[in-house]
Structures are given as C-alpha cells and as structure tokens.
Structure 1
Amino acid sequence: MASKEDFISHINTGYATKGESIILGGAMLNGEALPDAHIKIPLKTLNRHGLIAGATGTGKTKTIQVLSEQLSLLGIPVLMMDIKGDFSGISKPGIEQPFITERHAKINIPYQVSGFPVELLTLSKQNGVRLRATVSEFGPVLFSRILDLNDTQAGVVAVIFKYCDDNQMPLLDLKDIKKVINYITEEGKAEIEEHYGKISTSTTGTILRKIIELEQQGADLFFGEMSFDINDLMRIDENGKGYVNIIRLTDIQDKPKLFSTFMLSLLAEIYNTMPEQGDSGQPELVIFIDEAHLIFNQASKALLDQIESIVKLIRSKGIGLYFVTQNPMDVPSSVLAQLGLKIQHALRAFTANDRKAIKMTSENYPISEYYKTDEVLTSLGTGEALVTALNEKGIPTPLAATMMRAPMSRMDVLTDNEISEINNSSKLVRKYNEVIDRESAYEMLNKKVQDIQKEAAEAEEKVQEQKQEKKEASEPMSQTTKSIIKVFTSATFIRGVFGVLTKIFKK
C-alpha cells in the first residue's frame, strides 16, 4: 500500500498551481486530515463549471458559502440561488467556535472572520431588488421553449412577435401577449390572415392556456419593466471585494416553471451580453444554482437542449456555472459531462436503489489507488467531500477526500431588521423597484379595438338610418292619411263637377 508521503506528493503534484487559486481545504487519507496537502482550484479553470452534490446535512451549503467568500475576496462577483434561505448570513462576520479552530488547525489553514458585500434579489414580493425581463427580450424561440410548444404553436408565436415588430407594439409583460392573442383571433383576424396567413383558434387557445399556467406560478411579477441589467451583477465594492448577489427563492420551490424560466432567461441574457474572452486568468462571474433538479425535472427536451447549449458556450464569456443538488443523477448526463469541478459530499445508502445510485455516482470520478470511491462516499462526515477539478492545463486532478475549510461569515440567516438594513442602503433597490407600465401592445390594441368598435357602431347606426328612411319611403299610408286624401280628393272632384255645372247654368 502506498505511504502517506507518496499520497501527499501525489496530491501536491496534482493540485499544483502557478497562478491564483482558491484553497478548499486539506486532503484526507484513511479519515485523517493532512496539513501539508492542500486542495487548490485554479481561478483560470473556474469558468469550466462544476457540481456540488450530497445528501441533506452533509455540508453543501457551507461549501457554496466558502467558495463565494473566496471568490469575493479575489474581486470576483457571485450570483447564488437561495432557495432555503441559508445564505444571507454571508453579509455578516462569523464567530470563531472551538470546532472551527480545531478544523483549521488540522488542515493548516489560517482562519479569520469577515463579512462580504451582499445584494438581495427577488423574483417575487419578498424584500429585495426586483428581477424582471420583458417578453420581447425573450424572443419567440426562447418564449416558445419555455411554454413547451410544438412547432405549429411556436410558428404562431413567431407570427405574434413579427406582427408586434411590424406595428411597433412593444411586448413587455404577459398581458401584452395575451391581448395580442385575443386580438388576432377576434377583431384582427382578417388583418392577420391578409398579411400573415390563417391561424387556427385552437392553436391560439393552447398558447393562451400555457401562458396562463406560467402566470399562475407568479411569472406576471417577472415579466415587465424595468429589465434587470446583468452588468449590475458584476459590481466590486470600495474594498475590492466582489458582490455576492443572493436571489431569495424561499417561496419558489412549488413554482419550478418560473424558476426554470428565470434561469434560462438569465443565462441567455448573460451569454448575449458578455463579450468573448476565451480562457482568461479568472472568471467574470460565478453562478451557483441551488436545488438544480428544479430546473431539470420539469424541463422539456427543447428546454434541456437550450440549457446544454448555453452551458457549453457560456464559459467562453468568462462565466462559471455550478449546479447544486442532492444526487448527481439529478443533472442530465449531457450537462454533467461539461462540469470540470466536482465536489461530492456524503451520500446515504438506505435502500437497494440508493446503493445502485452510489455505485453509479462513484463511476463519475477518476479511479484512485488511494480510495474505494463507493465506500468513501458513504463514510464522509459533515464538511467533508470528494473533490476532483481541472488543473491549469485542463487535465483532471487526482481524486481527493477533503476536509473543507469553514466559512468566514455567519453560518445563519439574517434577521428581518438586518435584511431591511441591506435593502435600505441598496442602490439597486432604488433603481429597479419602481413599477413601470408604459404604453405597450395591451394599451395600443385596446385603443385599436375601441376605434374598430366605434367605427363599427357608427357604420351600424348609418345602416339603420338608411333602413329607416327606406322603410318610411315604402311604408303604406296610414288610415288617417288615406281619409284626409279621400276628403281632399272628393272635394276637388266635387268642386270640379260643380264648377262645370255652374258654368253650364250660367250659359
């Protein structure tokens, strides 16, 4: 069996870095932490994405906290999804407890407490910076994929967007696109058929129902103005620390459609906005997607294809994506294959299916002469994990059981007063929390429909007047009129007759 010295050399060679790096913790062998074998992740490869997995209570949240802190210290901003409400404490310094001191002594890493600059963001009515995007910014393809439409239905959505573009009608929120759908199936049907072809009412009905389903999950709060500028995620504070942007999603777990809609739109916006930079020295932004199964579980194949494409391409923009979930099998294999850093906390085997899942999970990691991976996976303690990454040359590092360092910030949530304090001092809250509802397709089509209805009413009134006139002209004379005419006619006749007789008698 290899010696401890061989193992330390093996780790230090595999995790050696020349440029800046993040130290996650110390390597372990046979359950013992080794102070001279640090697990270092090069900043250069952090845009190659990653996975953080493990059973509940094994330390995933603290790992995200540690990574976010280390990135912030190096001036790299972070965006994290806070579905359980665990991350807000990162804004406040932690407290050094005896167990933390002992842990850091074992791995030979100095410990100090610190708070970090934080922005609290929200998709719902929670306190924080409101995140919004317009329907137009999604575009017909992405909007159709979110609604899980077939080709025919997606074609109709494309027509809707084209019609609004041609007529300078902004599609800002869901009531805009619902109004357009109603219009093209009723008042504007002839107009649409003339310029764009016939559209089936059953197709528009299906699209409308899908939009209503999305709306019922709270998407009406997300679609609208003003749109969030992703450059506001890239901020650095006056001390050179990157901002940790925390999206508060504690009320979103039962709304997976809204969550996946937001994530896809965000990634697409970042990809379309950020310039190409190739493999630079460090990432521009690192995103942690907690409870990643919420994205993948209810995603259609088209949506999964879109996510896979973005994961492949977005790293060239300097963006690192880190999926956080209980079981690595929650992440599609096509996406899993794109992830360079893997931090696997303990898995628990309670059933035969659990044991099969652990066996499959162990096969996703490099073979190691120092570990039986499937056994180590079930024996790791809280705050310990199997780690493999990419070195500066893009080569996978050796598998290392790691005792993770402890967070420097508070390992607990903020109070309501502390949350209010952050929001009250936030420039972004003042920038984005004003509700804007400018004239868009909804208002413009309402006016157009009113004009159509007014013209139709006036035309109908004119037709009725013409009918009345025609009716009066052709209507039979009343009995009274007939009597009067008869009297006048008789009198005229009599006068005529008597006139003639008078002339005769005079003669």
Structure 2
Amino acid sequence: MLQDGKLYIGTSRDPGDANKKGEYLDLKYANRHGLITGATGTGKTVTLQILAEAFSAAGVPVFCSDVKGDLAGLALAGESKDFLEERAQKIGLDPYGYQATPTVFWDLFGEKGHRVRTTMTEMGPLLLARMMDASEAQEGVLNIAFKIADEHGLPILDLKDLRSLLIYMSEQASALSAIYGNISPQSVGAIQRSLLVLEQQGAEQFFGEPALRIEDLMRTTVDGRGIVNVLAAERLMMNPRLYATFLLWLLSELFEELPEVGDPEKPKLVFFFDEAHLLFSEAPRVLLERVEQVVRLIRSKGVGVYFVTQNPLDVPETVLAQLGNRIQHALRAYTPREQKAVKVAAETFRQNPEFDCFEAITQLGTGEALVSTLEAKGAPSMVERTLIRPPSSRLGPIDDVERRAIMATSPVAGLYDRDVDNESAHEILTARAAQVAAAEEERRRKEAEAETEVQETRRWTLPGFGDSEADDYDARGRKTSGRRAAPRSGYQRQTVTETVVKTVARTAANQIGRALVRGILGSLKRGL
C-alpha cells in the first residue's frame, strides 16, 4: 500500500500487458489538493475509502464527511468477497488482507458520533450570513452586532446570545446607529426569523460549548497510524447550506490556527469534502473569494483538500486550477451540459497518446478511473486508465451497536458529549436589564412613599395656620401655587394634640376677657 513515500491507488494497463504499472500518490505532493469526480455509482466513495486507508497507514490524520453512511465501514475490517479477491488478483495486489482503520465518529446532532460544536464568534458574520442566506443589509447588521460584542465584552457563543444582542440593538437603535451605522428594525426582524429557521433545522445544537479543538482532528494512534475522522452527514445533508457552511468553517479554522510548515514530507491532515458542489452553489462572490484564498494558502499549513463531486463543472475554475491530483470516474454524455463536463474533464489531464480521454471517460466501468497525480517537481503525470484497488476495511455501513462500541473506546469519549453554558452575551444583557428594572422599581417605590407622606400631611394639617390663600402641592410636597408663606424662625409642624390644646386655651382666654369687660362696664353704669 505504501511504497517509498507513495500511496498505492491502483494498477493501469491490462493485467496481461507487460507494461502494467502501479499508480501512486506521492505523499510529498499530497497537500497540493485533489479532485475526485464521477457519476453516481461509478465508485467515488470506494476511492475515497481506499485513500483514507492509505493516508492513515502513512500516519496522516484524515477528515471526511459521510453523506450516505458507507464510510463508517472504515472502522471495521473487511470481509472476504469474491469480487474483491478477483480485483486484487487482477491488479496484482499481493498480499491483500483485511484490516480496520482507526476511526472517530462525529455528528453535529450527537446521534451517530461525538458532538461537534463551535461558537458564533468563531463562525463569524460572513459565514453566518451565508448560512442564513442574509441580504446585504442584514449582513451589515450582523457585522455591527459582532463589532458591538467585541467592544463591549459580550461573547456570542450560541443562538440565544445573538438573539439577546439583537434585542438590545433594536432597543438602542437610535444611539447605536449614530456610531455604527443604520440598524433598521426590518433587518433585525429578518435576522431573528432566520435564527428561528436555523433553530428548527437543528443549528442550535451546533452553536455552543465546548467548541471543537482542531488538534482533536489531528490525532495518531500509538502505532503511528493516522486517525480517520468521519462526520455523519446523513441528517446534516437535509440542510445543505448548514453542511457546506460547517465544512467551510472547519477549513477556515485549520487555515487560521495551524502554523506555516512549507512543503512537508507528508501532510499534517487531509480533508475530503464530499458533495462539494454544495459549497459553491449560489455562493456570493465574497464567499467564493474566501474559498479560493483558503484553498490556495492552506497548502503551506500542511493540509491537503480533496473535493469529491459528480461533475468537474461544479468547482469554479479559480479553485479547479489549484487541484493537482485528479481521479476521474465515468461520466455520462447524453446532454449538452454533460458533454461539456466530459470535455472539460478530458482537457484538464496531461494527455496520453495511447487513448482518447474524452471517449475513455464515457467508457469507464465501475471501480475504474482516469488517474493523474503530481510527480517530480510538482508536474502532473500522464493520465492513465486505472483499476482502483479494493479496500481493506468493510464495504458499506455499520449497525448502531458496532458504532456505539467504537464511540465508547474513542480517544475523545466524554470530551464533547455534554453541553456547557458559560456566561456570555445573553446572561450579561439579562443581568443588566434586571439591574435597570430593579433601579426603576426602587425609584417608583420612593416616589410612592413621598406621595403618601404628602397626602398624610395634607390630611392632618388644620386650616388657619398656614398662608391665607390655599396652597397646591406636587408629588414631592413642594408648593406649586398660592402665596409663598413667610419664613418662620424655628417653626416646627404641630401635632394634632398641640393644636387642640392651643385652640381650647385661646377660647377660654377669650371667654374670660369678655367676662372682665362686662364686669367693668357694669360698675361704671352703677356709678353713674
């Protein structure tokens, strides 16, 4: 399988031909990326499987998506079958045996593998806008949201964090728009609706913590074999936009986190992107530029990217030009578009004078492919018609019992299977809102107490002891109308008892005075 730093792919020529030779992929150029194409049922999945086995045996970790469940068979040793033995004998593969490949299963939904999560901050506004199919105005609001989160210490980890931040932005739209630009209620509302759709599609389980650590995808076993990471994507494929965005995010994370290594003797990781057309379908120009940049530059990080799709026309020309290793299975040429695809595929190979590439592509059988890989100095080899070797691991899916047993002994078992809800934007904004509500409630309570005190004062104060004109008071007991009372030195408000006593004393004094006056007047009259 591995010869002088090269991975065995298959054998070209007819077995009876003395010029038959093995076709290999040089590990030194494996990080120059590649393309595996072919119509449904022509053998693309098996080709992906044998490449994953070969990279693992060479000590290179692998990440691949399993859209049909067939790649799960990598985890178990294959079973002897007549057509496999016949293929091994036909291509001269001796010895040929069956062996399991060290495998870790992953699943965004945690059903058929260990949970895969990332935070919204790590995803970023560009990919998030792509996932939500956001308009330009909505993408602008998302950029503002992430800017506010960075400047105000509001980590956006999951969906509820972004929801809470959008509510805050809507409530403070006037003030924030003056600083960051227009924040329209319509855009905020549209984003909120898109988040609801994502939640219904299961994206809520994808955003959160603990977030996936890239180093956990780059493990090797004790005996030096690279671990193959298989993403269960059967359910994920029901939301193609989420699937494509997740894999693009993973590529971006690899690009940002891994150090520069130049051109190593073998890759640090090989990434297979199955159903690659979903990545480019209806993608905006800025996203295509991002993909092209990552594919072009990630090679220096020691990562090889292999796109797997049905039609080479699914991949933009700017990206197609970066893919040096090609494996082309059969294509149909019944319609004008299919004929164009065959022509494009044929013209991308270094031509072999012994056969016509255009005709060969339409005549290839199952498990047969045109192969051209990079060789000395990075130049493409002459295309050869090749029988792909049979896999050593199991062909087809595995059952749930076997899957659970493999997950139980996984090197990442228990690391990602439980949710962690750390303090983030939702909790911070909720706490701030609670503080504001409490302060407002305290203010209202104090005003109510002041109003009650004023009412009590007005109820018990008797007339005749204040100003000669009626006075009106506001809620704090301050006079708002009538003549201002003259200041009284040392004045204190009288109690009811004091008021009654003084009134009785004054009445008694008046009565005594009148009696004295009558007595004096009576004496005067008698004297006269």
| TM-score normalised by L of structure 2 | 0.83
Q: Tell me what 2:515 maps to.
A: 502
Distance 1:493 1:282, change over 3 A: closer
Give the unaligned 5+ runs of structure 2.
463-500, 521-528
CA displacement 1:89-143 (0-9 Å, x = unmatched): 1111112323223222222222221111110111113132111111222344544
1:120-135 alignment to 2 at 5 Å? Answer: 120-135=105-120
Q: Does residue 326 of structure 1 match 2:310? A: yes
1:8 corresponds in structure 2 to none
Q: Matches of residues 159-238 of structure 1 in structure 2 within 5 Å?
A: 159-186=144-171, 188-189=172-173, 192=176, 199-238=183-222
Deviates more, 1:252-261 or 1:142-151: 142-151
Alignment pair present for 1:23 and 2:8: yes
Aligned positions of 1:405-424 closer than 5 A: 405-424=389-408
Look up the match of 1:89. Answer: 73
1:138 counterpart residue number = 123
Give the whole-Å Cα distance in 2 for the aligned partners of 1:328 and 1:285: 24
Q: Please say if residues 144 and 180 of structure 2, whose CA atoms lie closer than 8 Å, have aligned partners that are also in contact.
A: yes
Q: Which residue of 1 aligns with 2:484?
A: none
3-state SS of the aligned residue for 2:414?
helix
What secondary structure does 1:428 align onto?
coil
CA contact (8 A) 2:105 2:229 kept: yes
SS in 2 for 1:304: helix
Residue 462 (structure 1) shift: 3.2
Task: Quote the residue 2:40 is aligned against.
Answer: 56
Q: CA deviation digits over 1:421-478, x for unaligned, max 9? A: 0011123121111211122111111111111111122223334444566677789999
Give the corresponding residue for 1:249.
233
| Closer/same/farther in 2, CA of residues 34 and 259 from structure 1, 3 Å limit | farther
**Aligned with 1:112 (options 93, 97, 100):** 97
Aligned twin of 1:290: 274
The alpha-carbon deviation at position 420 of structure 1 amounts to 0.8
User: Is 1:173–1:224's contact at 8 Å kept on the other side of the alignment?
Assistant: yes
CA–CA separation in structure 1 for the residues paired with 2:342 and 2:242: 31
Shift of 1:355: 3.0
- Asked whether the 8 Å contact 1:33–1:106 carries over to 2, the reply is no
Relative distance call for 1:82 and 1:476 in structure 2 (3 A) is: same
Corresponding position of 2:367: 383
How far apart are 1:22 and its partner, in Å?
Answer: 1.0
User: In 2 relative to 1, CA 102–450 (structure 1 residues): closer, same or farther, beyond 3 Å?
Assistant: same
Whether contact under 8 Å (1:146, 1:303) holds in the other structure is no
Q: Which structure 2 residues correspond to residues 220-369 of structure 1 after superposition, within 5 A?
A: 220-369=204-353
In structure 2, the partner of 1:427 is 411
Q: Does 1:68 align with 2:81?
A: no
Q: 1:270 is matched by which residue type in structure 2?
A: L
Alpha-carbon distance in 1 for matches of 2:38, 2:180: 52
After TM superposition, the structure 1 stretch with the greater mean CA deviation from structure 2, 132-141 or 64-73, is 132-141
User: Is the contact made by 1:24 and 1:404 (CA closer than 8 Å) also made in structure 2?
Assistant: yes
Number of corresponding residues: 483
Moved more, 464-473 or 208-217: 464-473
Post-superposition offset of 1:213: 3.4
CA contact (8 A) 1:34 1:106 kept: no
Q: TM-score, normalised by structure 1?
A: 0.86
Amino acid corresponding to residue 264 of structure 2 in structure 1:
S
3-state SS of the aligned residue for 1:432?
coil
* 3-state SS of paired residue (1:87): helix
Does the Cα contact within 8 Å between 2:272 and 2:305 map onto a contact in 1? yes
Deviates more, 1:67-76 or 1:139-148: 139-148
**Cα distance, 1:393–1:192 mapped onto 2, change above 3 Å:** same
Preserved CA contact (<8 Å) 2:79 2:98: yes
1-structure distance, mates of 2:449, 2:137: 46
1:126 & 1:374 partners in 2: Cα distance? 44
SS of the equivalent of 2:50 reads helix
Q: Distance in 2 between matches of 1:99 and 1:426?
A: 32
CA distance in 1, matches of 2:294, 2:151: 30
CA distance in 1, matches of 2:17, 2:278: 35
Offset at residue 377 of structure 1 (A): 1.2
Shift of 1:34: 6.5
Structure 1: gaps of 5 or more residues: 1-16, 479-487
CA distance in 2 between partners of 1:57 and 1:349 (Å): 15
Worse-matched range after superposition: 120-129 or 193-202: 193-202
Q: In 2, are the aligned partners of 1:296 and 1:304 still within 8 Å (CA)?
A: yes
Partner of 1:77: 61
Q: Highest relative contact order (Cα 8 Å, sep 6+), 1 or 2?
A: 1
Q: Is the 8 A contact 2:69 2:396 kept in 1?
A: no
Identical pairs, percent: 39
After superposition, the Cα gap between the structure-2 partners of 1:43 and 1:465, relative to the gap in structure 1 and judged at 3 Å, is same
Work out whether residues 256 and 298 of structure 1, in 8 Å CA contact, stay in contact via their aligned partners in 2: no
1:263: Cα distance to partner?
Answer: 0.9
User: In structure 1, what is the equivalent of residue 525 of structure 2?
Assistant: none
Question: In the alignment, residue 385 of structure 1 is paired with which amino acid?
Answer: A
Q: Deviations over 1:70-97 (max 9, x none)?
A: 1111111111100110011111111232
In the aligned structure 1, how far is the partner of 2:246 from the partner of 2:442?
47
- SS of the residue corresponding to residue 269 of structure 1 reads helix
* CA displacement at 1:201 relative to structure 2: 2.6
Q: In structure 2, how many angstroms separate the alpha carbons of the residues matched to 1:347 and 1:405?
A: 20
Q: Per-residue displacement from partner, 1:470-505 (whole Å, max 9, x unpaired)?
A: 677789999xxxxxxxxx9x9999988866653343
CA RMSD of aligned residues (A): 3.1
